Amino acid sequence: MKRTLQTVLVMSFLAMILISPVAAATTQGLEWGVAQNDEFTYRLRMVDEGVQTYDEGMNITVTGSTPALSDPLTTWLSIPVVLANMVYTNGTPAIAEAVVIGFASILVGGVFIVPIGNFSLLADLAAAAPWWTVNHTIVSDSAFWGIRLSYMDDDSPSQIYVQYSKSNGVCARFNIESTNSTSHKKSSFSLVRDGLGLDIVQLLQDNILYVGIGVGVIVILGAVVCIRRR
């Protein structure tokens, strides 16, 4: 019995040694937040001059095991690709859509799933990447981290941005958007994961004038209250 117990303990210890390099975070705190066969549901929407012209459900499934992360990870281009499959909810392959997203996303890093655990490091690597320009910015809050590129397209303010969930590193939102400089109506191509709720950053940007007015009103009311208390 004693020999059997010793054998079990040795085998358990060896299993921990063999498994831990895959599961553990790197010395920089990076690790994968997804695993093979993880599935996520999205809505693919297209808007033309303020009119929605397309709205379909999509499933994206992690098809391969997560590749090893370099330790240390020193460049954005060193982030390995996690293989995933994109299909419509009826099972139809979304090949053309995946190509569009793939090519456009190159302008904001070209990665659909990023490692989690150290988004400050990812921000530094992005800012040092060859595709980074003065028109790129990092967008981050408690739940999401992402990259935004703002530019002018034929006098129309445009942007491409990607946001990742900080909990698993999977793309939560991908959006290509352009605002007509004359009609001020927006056209967009977006892929948004189900159940995310409002995009607060975008909501504030779209209503910045009203936000400014609201802040002004609050400041004025506060000043009036202070004066009356005197």
Residue 11 lies in a domain: no
Residue 14 lies in a domain: no
Cα-based torsion angle of the residue sequence 130, 134, 138, 139 in order, rounded to the nearest 10 degrees: -140
Residue range 88-112, pLDDT digits in tens? 999 999 999 999 999 999 999 999 9
Residue 175 lies in a domain: yes
Domain that holds residue 78: 29-221
Beta-ladder partners of 165? 144
Residue 168 lies in a domain: yes
Beta-ladder partners of 27? none
Of 30, 21, 223, whose CA–CA distance to 120 is shortest? 30
Cα 220 to Cα 214: distance, rounded to the nearest angstrom? 10
Bond into 21 cis (ω within 30): no
Residue range 29-63, pLDDT digits in tens? 999 999 999 999 999 999 999 999 999 999 999 99
Q: How many domains does the chain have?
A: 1
145 vs 223, which has greater pLDDT? 145
Residue 5 lies in a domain: no
Residue 15 lies in a domain: no
Specify the pLDDT at position 222.
54
Residue 43 lies in a domain: yes
The answer, yes or no, to whether residue 203 has pLDDT greater than 60, is no
pTM recorded for the entire structure: 0.77
Cα 64 to Cα 80: distance, rounded to the nearest angstrom? 12
Residue 3 lies in a domain: no
Of 48, 40, 39, 113, whose CA–CA distance to 82 is shortest? 113
Q: What percent of the chain has pLDDT over 70?
A: 75
pLDDT tier, 154 (very low <50, low <70, confident <90, very high otherwise): confident
